Amino acid sequence: MPVSQRIVQVCLFLVAAIAMFGGALQLSLGQPDTTPRLDNLHRFLAGVYFSTGLINLWAAATIRQQGTLVYLLAFGVLIAGIGRLISMSQVGLPEPASLWLTYVISELLLPIIIASAHAATSRNKTRVPA
């Protein structure tokens, strides 16, 4: 397996672990001290988050067969990071600030790493040996 493909695989496994752990945790905790409507929405989105982790897990495990899906998964993580940035700019930075900054930085960097490494893998596959 090319190094670039292994990088994509490791990043997808990392995203899968984060999404599955975070989704399961938020499904069980819900949104404390809120309205039933917001708790319902929070747990629904936690289920979406968890299931996205399963998709990342499957894509990482079958990385040699993946193409466009990898870019779509990276795009989803990037959009999530942009959502955090919008939230931070409109309602402020949650506490502890270092934790939330780590989340947003990783959500903005991981998609770039995933897409770049996947593109490198794709370029290497299309090269014809001399």
CB 20 within 8 A of CB 57: yes
pLDDT tens digits for range 45-58: 999 999 999 999 99
Say yes or no to pLDDT of 117 above 50: yes
Q: What DSSP state is assigned to residue 62? A: T
CB 60 within 8 A of CB 9: yes
pLDDT, tens only, 64-107? 999 999 999 999 999 999 999 999 999 999 999 999 999 999 99
